[in-house]
Amino acid sequence: MPNVIIVMNDTLRRDHVAAYGLPPPWERSGHRGETFIHTPNLDRLAAESAVFDRFYCASYPTIPCRYDLFSGRYGFPTRGWQPLERGDIVLSEIVRAAGKVPMLIYDTPMLGNDSYNYTRGFAGIEFMRGQHGDRYNVDPIDPALPAAPHKLKNVTATKLYLRNTANRVYERDWMHGRTLSATFDWLERNRTRDNFVLWVDMWDPHEPFDAPAFDLERYAEPGYRGDMIIYPRYGRGDYMSAAERNHVRALYAGLVTAVDRWIGRLMEKLDTLGLDRNTLLVHLTDHGHLFGDHDLQGKPTGPYGRLYEVTNRVPLMIRHPQGLGAGRRISGLAQHPDLLPTILEFLDVKVPSGLHGRSLWPLIEGKSAMIREYAFSGRFSRGAGESPAQQAGAREAAQFDGWAGGDQIGEPITVTSEEWALVCLPGLEGWELYHLPSDPKQERNVISERPEVAKQMHTAFVDFMGAAGATEERIRLYTEPQPRLTMSKSAQLYAIRDGEGLWLAFPTEAEAAGCLVPSLPAQKVEALKFGDLVERQPRALVHIHEQYYRAEELA
């Protein structure tokens, strides 16, 4: 009987996997002459797998994506960052009822955090403690920050991470090394089983972007002496210099290469144990990350939450034990809900009715060129009749980078076809349409030139939302005018200036004071009205809803 191993690496950009053959993600080459980025093991896996070129995230980001994967349904039309509900039917329970042994090994803390119960139904779970956001250590008491506080998204969370990793020495001590080491041990103990479904969930290369020094050296500018911004604030990234932004990119790229090395060790372990002959291996991620792309940093939301290709088009590789589909590049659209029926069909387990996902085997076997006309990608829109559970979920999400942005407006939704990508903002203005074959970087908005295409795709999106169970109130966010996020001229702000003269403004004096840099003794907090800030420096940064906006954009 066959086994299945699903390996999740969170926040893995498609252009950082060399096998996809994309241009370098920034204007820099590696120091050692190899292809940029260095991912030889994922490249080997790609050669042995069916590789999906048009795989798109559905519900965004971490927990909403896991809901789609575990349930085979689109979550974002009806639910946000929240626990599994009692009536949800999920992968672990389905395969266990069919006599399989589902096992979860993970370091992504929110899967089992408090009452989130994404560990539900697994026959066994192993949680590797110490990842970012895991309330694990309270010592050392006050670790030194690696960068100025106004550049770090969450100073408290950064210090927690530094405490969690304070005793790290060897590369196996990094979280992905610890999680995969536990996986290797489990596989050795269970290698004679022929009925397991093993889910390995790693948050790396998610931020904090903290790669081993020898991996960072592959990409960093020699002699860089600036801040180590391992956890950059979201939104506009003007608070970083060009050198700092490139160093953040190097930090991330180094972490990707470190993860790749351990994926290679997993493949070697499967070969050694003979599990490669009867085990389906699935490697995927949930979404990408912005590093200055479209003038944005991180995973911002609200007006900045537009899901472009760099964020919502992600890697997926499926290696069949008998080589089915090996080396095939699949251009048909696919999404995260499609994984559940695909896995169940491989295991010859009955697929529950009512799923949104569709089996990927017709694409892998070459029997069909497409299984869906559109891919729908989005984040649950707040501010439209949320339940108390959804409101609580948003607060929880803020601890894990799952929420940032204004909660008084909805979230942008992206609709993708074989040829086009439509970014639908709440309301009837500001939409963007891109012709992907001629404009893969999405630099030219042609909405005014092809309104008929946008109308057709918008109609498909509205129909999809209704079919997926979205309320009329939520659908109206995309069919009726909506207010734009603005700030009153009389709004009280508290601002500091960085070393380059850029004003950084915050809603409270405590927030501003918390961002003072000891090495700038002349730096001070100044109270001023928003209208005065706009007049003084239109491109000043205003930090609200957990991300930076330019003042002129809020006027």
**What integer pLDDT is reported at residue 24 of this predicted model?**
86
**What integer pLDDT is reported at residue 404 of this predicted model?**
52
Report d(CA 508, CA 518) in Å as an integer: 20
Give the list of residues 6+ apart from residue 284 with CB closer than 8 angstroms, or none: 6, 7, 8, 9, 55, 314, 315, 316, 317, 336, 339
Cβ neighbours, 10 Å, residue 68: 25
Fill in the amino acid letter for 549. Y
User: Both tokens of residue 188?
Assistant: 């050795």
Fill in the amino acid letter for 75. G
pLDDT in tens, 1-34: 899 999 999 999 999 999 999 988 887 755 665 5
User: Both tokens of residue 417?
Assistant: 């076809």
The whole-angstrom distance between residue 282's C-alpha and the CA centroid of its chain comes to: 18
Which of residues 394 and 84 earns the better pLDDT score? 84
For a pLDDT cut of 70, what percent of the chain falls above it? 94
Contact 406, 413 (CB under 8 A): no
**What integer pLDDT is reported at residue 116 of this predicted model?**
83
472: exposed, middle or buried (C-beta count within 10 Å: 0-12, 13-18, 19+)?
Answer: exposed
**What integer pLDDT is reported at residue 535 of this predicted model?**
97
- Report residue 519's pLDDT band, with 50, 70 and 90 as the boundaries: confident
Res. 331: pLDDT tops 60: yes
Give exposure, 335-348, as e/b (b: 16+ Cβ within 10 Å): bbbbbbbbbbebbe
Query: Dihedral through CA 533, CA 535, CA 536, CA 538, nearest 10?
Result: 80
Which DSSP category does 401 fall into? Answer: T
Contact 504, 495 (CB under 8 A): yes
Cis amide prior to 143 (ω within 30 degrees): no
First vs last C-alpha separation in the chain = 63
Contact 273, 284 (CB under 8 A): no
Res. 391: pLDDT tops 80: no
The whole-angstrom distance between residue 476's C-alpha and the CA centroid of its chain comes to: 27
Which DSSP category does 5 fall into? Answer: E
148: left (phi over 0), alpha (psi -120 to 50) or beta: beta
What's the rounded mean pLDDT across residues 66-77?
97
What's the rounded mean pLDDT across residues 366-378?
97
Report d(CA 210, CA 229) in Å as an integer: 9
Alpha-carbon distances of 247 from 208, 219, 272, 505, rounded to whole Å: 13, 8, 38, 25
Min mean pLDDT across 8-12, 408-412, 494-498, 549-553 is at 408-412
Give the list of residues 6+ apart from residue 418 with CB closer than 8 angstroms, or none: 54, 331, 333, 370, 373
Identify any residues that bridge with 413 across adjacent strands, giving them in sequence order.
Answer: 378, 424
Long-range contacts of 527-532 (CB under 8 A, 24+ apart): 527/492, 527/493, 527/494, 527/495, 528/493, 528/494, 528/495, 529/489, 529/490, 529/491, 529/492, 529/493, 530/487, 530/488, 530/489, 530/490, 530/491, 530/492, 530/493, 530/505, 530/554, 531/489, 531/490
Contact 22, 216 (CB under 8 A): no
**What integer pLDDT is reported at residue 113 of this predicted model?**
79
CATH class of the region 3-364: alpha beta
Res. 407: pLDDT tops 60: no
Report d(CA 296, CA 182) in Å as an integer: 36
Cβ neighbours, 10 Å, residue 495: 25
**What integer pLDDT is reported at residue 506 of this predicted model?**
98
Q: Give the CATH number of domain 375-478; options: 1.10.645.10, 3.30.1120.10, 3.90.180.10, 3.40.640.10.
A: 3.30.1120.10
For a pLDDT cut of 90, what percent of the chain falls above it? 84
pLDDT in tens, 106-137: 999 999 877 788 999 999 999 999 999 899 99
Give the list of residues 6+ apart from residue 237 with CB closer than 8 angstroms, or none: 245, 292, 295, 296, 297, 548
**What integer pLDDT is reported at residue 320 of this predicted model?**
98
**What integer pLDDT is reported at residue 386 of this predicted model?**
62
**DSSP letters spanning 486-551:** ---TT-EEEEEE-TTS-EEEESSHHHHHTT--TT-TT---EEEEHHHHHHH-TT-EEEETTEEEEH
Report d(CA 304, CA 291) in Å as an integer: 13
**What integer pLDDT is reported at residue 401 of this predicted model?**
59
Which DSSP category does 448 fall into? Answer: T
**What integer pLDDT is reported at residue 26 of this predicted model?**
87
Backbone torsions φ then ψ of 198, nearest 5 degrees: -105, 120
Fill in the amino acid letter for 69. L
Res. 163: pLDDT tops 90: yes
Cis amide prior to 140 (ω within 30 degrees): yes
* Domain spans of the chain, in order of start: 3-364, 375-478, 492-554
Fill in the amino acid letter for 309. E
**What integer pLDDT is reported at residue 392 of this predicted model?**
62
Contact 322, 315 (CB under 8 A): no
**DSSP letters spanning 464-478:** HHHHTT--HHHHGGG
Contact 244, 148 (CB under 8 A): no
Contact 349, 98 (CB under 8 A): yes
**What integer pLDDT is reported at residue 390 of this predicted model?**
62
**What integer pLDDT is reported at residue 403 of this predicted model?**
60
What's the rounded mean pLDDT across residues 273-287?
97
3-state secondary structure 301-350: CHHHCCCCHHHHECCEEEECCCCCCCCCEECCCEEHHHHHHHHHHHCCCC
What's the rounded mean pLDDT across residues 403-418?
78
**What integer pLDDT is reported at residue 432 of this predicted model?**
98
- Report residue 518's pLDDT band, with 50, 70 and 90 as the boundaries: confident
